Structure 1
């Protein structure tokens, strides 16, 4: 879990325990940065999480007001933040497992070349993983990654967190992602691995994920059970 996520969880706990009463204001970002020995940027990220979940509301010129009115009781994912499912579920103290359905190396087709800025001679990993949360089928991930950018990917890594390997072992810095989210009908793999019914909708998230140098390193389509996952977006007027 990232530092700002840990801080966000602690601040939410304080709000729930009424240590920060509804209607009062959070300590200033400078005070919180000093308390947690982090930068103001880290505190700002933590407060953004609380804002998106309905715990607080920034009031320009006054501070951050305590609301404690979470918008949803179920777990949701901010659409503009993603550090991988393992990190995301760690915030809710949930266990994530990965079952490998397919893992091979091939040369990219024209669509994959275009999305990952590759030539026809640059090999890719083609990965299909079933992600289980607390033993329940959650997401079926179809992922394409360039081999030369992410060398030595193994079954052992796929059973855990690819993003942890990228960041902790390879030292790659993830900048963000571009996503398209839509409802689709389940296909044969969804019916088999997500335990969907033929008339259940599936939430498909197609995404391109980029490094800080602008290099795309992931082109994926994740198939989400409609009753397991949702996404939120926060729009603020500046």
Structure 2
């Protein structure tokens, strides 16, 4: 079971995301929250600190916290989520544009990505993600056709994972992820509304089935002002 302050944080976060507290509205005082949740002052302060760190509220010394507009979008990278599922978490207006979907048989590329000399063909899928009307993420996915023999355009526009799991019965297991910052490429500038930025946050993922079969490689490139990665870390003494 999670700590009490994490439970308080999760409840307050959901209330903010659902619109129960409007942007610019004063947040309840520490005393009010103590009474509401029947917890200590320290517990409330920890929960409020997490909300502030994730950009939900802004606090000033001696003043009540205020709900603020979040400039960056928090991505829960400890989980494997489709963009459609992530949209429910973001609570923002989103749209997916499919820029390219084709089958490749380039053995050199297949070996470079999957290190599999038996794989003959892969799907190459390029999608742009719009959040609140701005093109802020470009996702480049490669799928092994030995695992994903068919990939319809409708699934690419909606949710590839929903198609694979619900219609094809694929059991998705786990992913390894790497997050780095790189110089923006010409492709980034072509597909993203880069504004004044010269860098992008790049998330590279290798996704496996429940049977430990690698079937997908993804390179997700984010405009830096629209990226936030926050995890709750607990101390573990080695």
Q: TM-score, normalised by structure 2?
A: 0.69
Which residue matches 2:177? 179
Which residue matches 1:100? 98
2:224 to 218, 223, 226: 226
The whole-number CA distance in structure 1 between the counterparts of 2:229 and 2:198 is 18
Does the CA-based 8 Å contact 1:177-1:207 persist in structure 2?
Answer: yes
Superposition CA RMSD, Å: 3.0
Which residue matches 1:45? none
1:72 maps to 2:54: yes
Stretches of structure 1 that go unaligned for 5 or more consecutive residues are 1-7, 26-55, 58-64
- TM-fit CA distance, 1:111: 5.1
1:23 maps to 2:3: no
The whole-number CA distance in structure 2 between the counterparts of 1:106 and 1:14 is 46
- TM-fit CA distance, 1:105: 0.3
Q: 1:84 to 1:12 in 2, by over 3 A?
A: same
- TM-fit CA distance, 1:233: 3.5
1:131 maps to 2:111: no
2:151 to 153, 157, 164: 153
**Count of residue pairs the alignment pairs up:** 194
Determine which structure has more spread, i.e. the larger CA radius of gyration. Answer: 2
The whole-number CA distance in structure 1 between the counterparts of 2:77 and 2:151 is 27
Q: TM-score, normalised by structure 1?
A: 0.69
Deviations 1:155-209 (A, max 9, x none): 1111111111122222222222111211111111211110225752111111101
Q: Which shifted more, 107-116 or 160-169?
A: 107-116
Give the secondary-structure state (helix, strand or coil) at the position aligned to 2:212: coil
